[in-house]
Amino acid sequence: MSFDLTDFLPYLLNQAAEAASLDFQREYKARYGMLRTEWRVLFHLGRYGDMSARDIVERAMIHKTKVSRAVAALEERRFLVRSEVEEDRRREVLSITPAGREAFGELTALAEAHDAALLRGVSEADAAVVRRVLRQIAGL
């Protein structure tokens, strides 16, 4: 039996992820000039509240250099602010600003609509299976 890349699960997952996120990626880029990592950082701050860049790295599984660049870009757009932690001046806490909260709200609504569009024509039972299996694979 020869290896078939098109049946290789990591390949299929990557292709599905790219196809599923492309339209949404166009939305946040067109509206806010954001890259994927910037959206993911904004999402974590909007969803979970104040946290350090290290917290985002661990929670989102994004390389620290990419998070650092995203934080700088979001700070430049005034979507987040940094504050020093008094007990440890080397550490910073990131907080979403009102402008960031507004962008987060708009993009969250678009994400929900995009998610629903992706599953149009898929039964609720099948959608639940897909989500359950993907969570298992991701270890969530």
Tally of CA atoms within 13 A in the half-sphere of 107 that contains its CB: 30
**Rounded Cα distance, 121 and 119, in Å:** 6
Containing H/E element for 2? none
Tokens of residue 22, six digits = 């492309």
What pLDDT, on a 0 to 100 scale, did the predictor assign at position 84? 85
Fold observed for domain 5-138: Arc Repressor Mutant, subunit A (1.10.10)
What pLDDT, on a 0 to 100 scale, did the predictor assign at position 106? 95
Tokens of residue 134, six digits = 């993907």
Contact 44, 124 (CB under 8 A): no
pTM: 0.84
Residues in the chain: 140
What pLDDT, on a 0 to 100 scale, did the predictor assign at position 62? 93
Mean pLDDT by 10 residues, the chain (140 residues): 87 91 90 94 96 94 95 97 80 94 95 93 94 90
What pLDDT, on a 0 to 100 scale, did the predictor assign at position 23? 85
65, burial (CB in 10 Å: exposed 0-12, middle 13-18, buried 19+): exposed
